């Protein structure tokens, strides 16, 4: 990542000992002892040891580790839901561990919104009132917080659910409420603690995508905790890998895949679903715009102009891929006074299924460089793969 980026949160020498005699544990730690030995000798659990990292302004940082790695402790140290034993956490010049109670409240209100693994929605409040919670706490007046909450709820796709209670919603929708509660608050940092781990895989994918989109739009500094490397690679700008309360590696997904810091990371990566990474589906992008078979030449040209593209996929009413129409052909059709463009389409592009291995795709690009269409068994268009994406994906995985 770019070193010139502004640092939003600076964590230095952060340690956390669970137990009544933290000093003893830290002494042993300084003598080079590890967590199990310290536990045996002192009965103290070394939760986090000497953690250093920065969170950059506007990035999505993933902290990833297995259970017991200290990731939940770490995120709770950031907003001091757990008191630290030693070290600094500086956000905008304030050192969180040394704040007074009153300053801490202020700091939490201004800087931190949090989304929880099991949603932690208030069951006695409606969806709307849940979303308003942070604003209510801060004393924002009723009309304003009502408006903000409504906007954020519609941002996460919960229009019309304002008066429902959390127990009337599915898991995915409940977490959307959790997300809305966090976004409505407009704090400067968004903390997500295993936010999608309790959701089923399909919903989870969807939420990951929405989160990355939202994050890209709002540029909100985000710290995301997960135990799932796939998820980390999928959404993280950078990843902090945690093991037994210590940092093993910090880097972009690319760094971690290509240069695993040690065997621990390597073993982790081997667990990543390589077949998924190396298929057409992984390099596929959604299609920006498509035309319908009933569209006339002028409609099609208008669509191309609107999206600044010079060819467009034609779909039948049931979304089957009929062919590709280039802008020149569309113009020709218009000049000849044709009412349909179906006769002007070209088939000079390749179609593949989503599970097509990525290596095969490379040789398929036509001279004109049309993207490769990915379609399902019913010939419905799922997305397209452009040349650059294939290269990216291959480079990512190639060095292993």
Partner 1 sequence: MDIVRIPLGEWIEGGLNWLTSEYSVVTRSISHFTKIGINSLNDGLMWLPQWALLAMIVLLCWRVSSYRLGIGAALGLALIWNLGLWDPMIETLTLVVIATLVAVAFALPVGIAAALSERLYRLSMPILDFMQTMPAFVYLIPAIPFFGIGSVSAIFATVIFSMPPAIRFTTLGIRQVPVELIEAADAYGATRSQKLFKVQLPLSLPTLMAGINQTIMLALSMVVIAAMIGADGLGSEVWRAIQRLRPGDGFEAGIAVVILAMLLDRLTQSLSRSRR
Which of 122, 144, 288, 336 is the binder for partner 1 (CB under 8 A)?
122
- Pick between residue 196 and residue 349 the one whose CB is nearest to partner 1: 196
Residues 6+ apart with CB under 8 A from 129: 122, 136
The pairing of beta strand 7-18 with beta strand 45-56: antiparallel
Closer by beta carbon to partner 1, 108 or else 303 = 108
Pick one of 4, 20, 124, 317: the residue that binds partner 1 (CB under 8 A). 124
**Shortest distance, position 119 Cβ to partner 1, whole Å:** 8
Contact (CB, 8 A) for 156 and 190: no
> How many residues of this chain bind partner 1 (CB under 8 A)?
24
Instruction: Choose the stretch contacting partner 1; rule: CB under 8 A; options: 35-43, 136-144, 298-306, 337-345.
Output: 136-144
How far is Cα 284 from Cα 275, in angstroms, rounded to an integer? Answer: 14
Q: Which of 53, 116, 264, 365 binds partner 1 (CB under 8 A)?
A: 116
Does position 142 interact with partner 1 (CB under 8 A)? The reply is: no
Expressed in angstroms, the distance from the first to the final Cα of the chain is 21
Q: How far is the CB of 76 from partner 1 (least distance, A)?
A: 8
Site stretch for partner 1 (CB under 8 A), options 8-16, 86-94, 113-121, 296-304: 113-121
Pick from 57, 88, 94, 136 the residue near partner 1 by CB under 8 A: 136
94 belongs to the binding site for partner 1 (CB under 8 A): no
Locate 82 and state its tokens: 């757990």
73 near partner 1, rule: CB under 8 A: no
Cα(49)–Cα(14) distance, rounded to whole angstroms?
6
Among 15, 45, 69, 113, binds partner 1 (CB under 8 A): 113
Beta strands 290-292 and 311-315 are parallel
Closest CA to 114 of 140, 133, 101: 133
Q: What angle do CA 323, 329, 332 make, to 5 degrees?
A: 145
**CA nearest neighbour of 60 among 152, 167, 173, 190:** 190
Binding mask 186-225 for partner 1 (x = CB under 8 A): -----x----------------------------------
């Amino acid at each position: 990542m770019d070193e010139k980026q502004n640092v939003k949160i600076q964590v230095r020498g952060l340690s956390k000992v669970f137990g009544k005699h933290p000093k003893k544990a830290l002494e042993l730690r300084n003598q080079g002892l590890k967590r199990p030995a310290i536990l045996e000798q002192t009965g103290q659990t070394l939760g986090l040891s000497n953690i250093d990292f920065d969170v950059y302004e506007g990035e999505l940082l993933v902290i990833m580790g297995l259970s017991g790695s200290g990731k939940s402790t770490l995120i709770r140290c950031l907003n001091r839901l757990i008191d630290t034993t030693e070290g600094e956490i500086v956000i905008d010049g304030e050192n969180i561990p040394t704040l007074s109670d009153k300053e801490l409240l202020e700091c939490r209100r201004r800087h931190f919104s949090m989304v929880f693994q099991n949603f932690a929605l208030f069951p006695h409040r409606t969806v709307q009132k849940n979303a308003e919670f942070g604003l209510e706490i801060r004393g924002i007046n009723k009309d304003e917080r009502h408006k903000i909450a409504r906007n954020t709820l519609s941002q996460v796709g919960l229009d019309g659910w304002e008066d429902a209670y959390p127990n009337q919603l599915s898991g995915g929708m409940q977490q959307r409420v959790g997300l809305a509660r966090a976004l409505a608050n407009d704090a400067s940092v968004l903390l997500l603690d295993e936010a999608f781990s309790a959701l089923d895989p399909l919903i989870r994918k969807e939420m990951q995508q929405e989160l990355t989109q939202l994050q890209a739009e709002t540029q909100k500094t985000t710290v995301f905790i997960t135990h799932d490397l796939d998820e980390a690679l999928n959404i993280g700008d950078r990843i902090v890998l945690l093991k037994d309360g210590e940092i093993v590696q910090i880097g972009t997904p690319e760094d971690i895949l290509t240069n695993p810091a040690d065997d621990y990371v390597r073993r982790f990566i081997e667990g990543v679903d390589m077949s998924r990474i190396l298929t057409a589906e992984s390099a596929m992008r959604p299609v920006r715009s498509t035309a319908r078979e009933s569209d006339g030449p002028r409609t099609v040209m208008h669509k191309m102009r609107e999206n600044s593209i010079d060819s467009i996929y034609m779909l039948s009413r049931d979304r089957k891929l009929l062919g590709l129409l280039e802008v020149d052909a569309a113009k020709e059709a218009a000049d000849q006074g044709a009412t349909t463009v179906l006769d002007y389409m070209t088939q000079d592009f390749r179609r593949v299924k989503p599970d097509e291995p990525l290596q095969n795709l490379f040789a398929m690009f036509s001279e004109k460089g049309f993207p490769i269409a990915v379609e399902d068994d019913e010939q419905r268009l799922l997305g397209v793969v452009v040349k650059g994406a294939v290269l990216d994906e291959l480079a990512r995985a190639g060095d292993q």
